[in-house]
Amino acid sequence: MTQTTTSYKNVGRSNVDLHDGRILEPGQTRELTSDEAALPHNQRLVALGTLVPAQTAAKVNATDEAIQLAADNGVDLAELQGSGAHGRITKGDVDRHLKQKESD
């Protein structure tokens, strides 16, 4: 049976220790097999938004901090309009969205 792989990007601020001793530094992308991504350690990291599918990170014009904050809070970045250069979504944009959701 062939394992599928998916690229994951570390959008956190610290290194991620993968199960096999590899280190994924902030900003780095690494291919993980479906088995590797299913490991409890990686599921936790994906849930926390430290590791996000690289395809997701590439599709959105957002800073790594904005991606991290959005992932931590379950915000779909496609709903936001960025205030940064060339419409880039910033951490401040996500913060404003969260505050607006709280007040609604």
Percent above pLDDT 70 for the chain:
75
Q: What average pLDDT does range 92-102 have in this prediction?
A: 93
pLDDT in tens, 80-96: 889 999 999 999 999 99
Fold (topology level) of 60-104: Dihydrolipoamide Transferase (4.10.320)
Residue 28 neighbours by CB under 8 Å, 6+ apart: 9, 10
Each domain of the chain, given as residue ranges in start order, spans 1-59, 60-104
* Torsion angle, alpha carbons of 2, 59, 20, 25, to 10: 160
pLDDT in tens, 20-46: 777 878 888 888 877 777 666 666 666
- Mean pLDDT of all residues in the chain? 79
Report the distance separating Cα 44 and Cα 38, nearest Å.
10
The per-residue pLDDT for 70 is: 83
Confirm if 59 and 67 have CB atoms less than 8 A apart: no
Task: List beta partners, residue 6.
Answer: 32
